[in-house]
Structure 1
Amino acid sequence: MRKLKYFFITSVLGIAGSLSLATAQKLGRMVGWFLWKLQTQPRDVTATNLAICLPELTSTERAELTKASLASTGMTMLEVPLMWEWPVEKCLDLIKETQGLALINEAMTDGSGLILLAPHLGNWELAGLFFSSRYKMAALYSPPNMAEFEDYMIRVRGRLGSELVRGDRRGLARLASILREGGVAGILPDQSPRGAGNAFAPFFGMEVKTMTLVAKLMQRTGAKVLITYTERLNNAEGFRIVVRETEPNIDSKDPVQAATALNRSIEHCIRKIPAQYQWEYKRLRHRPPGEINPYNPDKVC
């Protein structure tokens, strides 16, 4: 049954991967429209997140942003098979503009390793391909439930030599080793962390569980840190890679101070293109004990 499920998933990915970017984005917008029209859970979660994180918006503006965000989520869903199934050169040709790449060269001039933070903003799969085409790179990941699909994911993401390491003790040790060697480590910084490596810090003003891994890796390896995202251009014209500096104190030994700087760095990027952020993710669900769960007001964290 597992093999049949794997065959079905990879077959669907293969069919979706045969689409053009314009067709994939058009279908993705349709998926987003259905998520909006049918009043699904992604719509409810997106609306809740926007009400908390961007309270300065009017109700009309939040409604429009909710709709635009779901359309972006749908496009990302249909773009991922392209990034996994297309030839690498064809994927890289989608990058029409870059901003801030000089910051990477500057950070690595002295041989230091570099942590690249890539929040769920725009098309993060394309960012991984782009940077692994230029640097010795490793990326942290959580394994899927299906072992066969994990092999497929490692193969397609590692086509340019990028090394995927699990977020366990052995994987983190490998990540630290690559940074000490002057390599690049890619981390998705806006997920609720598991285990003990976390602190409660404000994200758009609300205290949420936030990873402390970035600060610890910087302290252990002397690595620098930057943040990046891949912005979707209009009318299927391609994408723009953007690299930005992070907030001060992101390497602080005070876990709350470091986590606060991490979240602020992510916030600054989101505010540039808020419609392309993955707002349907329940980022605010892990709050300090005793606080209300914003997605279920009847429950206390």
Structure 2
Amino acid sequence: MSKARILIFIIGLLGKLRLRTAQGIGRALGTLGFMLPTPARKVTDINLRIAFPELDEGERRELTRNSLRHTGQVAMEIPLVWEWPVERCLDLIRQLEGEELLQAATKNGKGVLLLAPHLGNWELCGLYFSSRYRMAALYSPPSLAGFEDYMVQVRGRLGSELVRGDRRGLARLIGLLREGEVAGILPDQSPRGAGAAYAPFFGLEVRTMTLVSKLLQKSGATPLMTWCQRLPDGGGFRLVIRACEPGIADPDPVVAATALNRSVEACVRAAPEQYQWEYKRFRHRPAGQGNPYRE
């Protein structure tokens, strides 16, 4: 049996869990990752020292532990979102904030570009929007051979069009936005090669994608931030939609990247423990500035 088939089988088993059970397992895994000298704990601690220098050691330690717990929870929730019936997944969204922004944006006949940082449960965001709008989402193919077909199938089971992040896929995405459709993208990853500018994120200059501003300039779409915030005690999620910072579509790539990072940062500050701080977001710096994960 291939590695992809084994993984799909495991996801299927985990997808039979209840939300409260899955989250409990995720919290336990996160606690274990905090107690042991794991790379995830080390990276999280470095990131939080950069992002929240005002915290004392005790506060930062507590935030590190909570972050790892929430990362464990989202890892255990994804099989539920992929395997549960759609209506059961959508029932997990108990609160909705800012939907009027999306409704207003779709009324003008232009497309809407939804920017969903790695905050809360981003998979549930995509499922919700694809249940209400004709939706397209940008994705990167997984490195595990044989897993892509399964991933595309479960993410697109409501008709959402999954678009690869290559030149052909981006052209398709621009075309859909020009037609007034809704598209989604994860905006807080460190891009490789071209298509990047350096802009501050939590006070540190980091490589930031310029793809968002280019999509907006070429399509005329309206950008909005969104995330699914985890409610306590297995209480489901709050789906939040917010306006972006001014300048996110500016022709100047630095101005646009700065506005993008400020938009992401504003979302993260609303629920900092639910952000994926285990990602090395600060590793790509301008020439001559150190990599904090190597020091």
Instruction: Please give the TM-score of this superposition, normalised by the length of structure 2.
Output: 0.99
Deviation at 1:107, TM superposition (A): 1.1
Q: Distance in 2 between matches of 1:19 and 1:53?
A: 35
Q: Secondary structure at the match of 1:191?
A: coil
Q: Distance in 2 between matches of 1:29 and 1:166?
A: 32
What is residue 285 of structure 2 aligned with on the other side?
287
- How far the C-alpha of 1:166 sits from its partner, in A, is 0.8
Q: For residue 170 of structure 1, what is the aligned residue in structure 2?
A: 168
Matches of 1:187 and 1:6 in 2, distance apart? 25
Partner of 2:113: 115
Alignment of 1:215-294 (within 5 A): 215-294=213-292
Residue aligning to 2:34? 36
The offset of 1:148, in angstroms, is 1.2
From 116, 136, 139, the equivalent of 2:137 is: 139
The offset of 1:210, in angstroms, is 0.2
Q: CA deviation at 1:279?
A: 0.3
Letter in structure 1 aligned against 2:122: W
- Could you list the runs of 4 or more consecutive aligned residues of structure 1 that deviate by over 6 angstroms after TM superposition? none
How many residue pairs match? The answer is 295
Give 1:44-59 correspondences, 5 Å limit: 44-59=42-57
Question: d(CA) in 2 for partners of 1:164 and 1:65?
Answer: 34
User: Aligned to 2:247, what secondary structure does the other structure show?
Assistant: coil
Residues 1:76 and 2:101 aligned together: no
Give the partner amino acid of 1:183.
E
SS at match of 2:251: coil
Note the alpha carbon deviations across 1:73-93, whole angstroms, 9 max, x for none: 000000000000101110000
Deviations 1:150-187 (A, max 9, x none): 00000000010111111110010010011001001101
- Show the counterpart of 2:92: 94
Superposed counterparts of 1:153-192, under 5 Å: 153-192=151-190
Q: Distance in 1 between matches of 2:66 and 2:259?
A: 28
State the Cα deviation string for residues 69-122 of structure 1 (Å, max 9, x = none). 000000000000000010111000000000000000111211000000000000
**Deviation of residue 277 (structure 1)?**
0.3
CA distance in 1, matches of 2:124, 2:106: 22
Which amino acid is 2:259 matched to? Answer: A
Q: CA RMSD in A?
A: 0.7
Distance 1:235 1:25 in 2: 9
Partner of 2:21: 23
Q: Secondary structure at the residue paired with 1:7?
A: helix
Question: What is the SS of the residue equivalent to 1:292?
Answer: coil
Amino acid of the structure 2 residue aligned with 1:82: L
| Amino acid paired to 2:143 | N
Equivalent residue letter for 1:109: K
Partner Cα distance (1:215, 1:251) in 2: 4
Describe the SS at the equivalent of 1:115. Answer: strand
Instruction: Please list every run of 5 or more consecutive structure 1 residues that lacks an aligned counterpart in the other structure.
Output: none
Quote the residue 1:204 is aligned against.
202
Q: Tell me the distance in 2 between the aligned counterparts of 1:233 and 1:269.
A: 16
Cα deviation, residue 146, structure 1: 2.3
Contact 2:4 2:145 in 1 (8 A): no
CA distance in 1, matches of 2:133, 2:36: 43
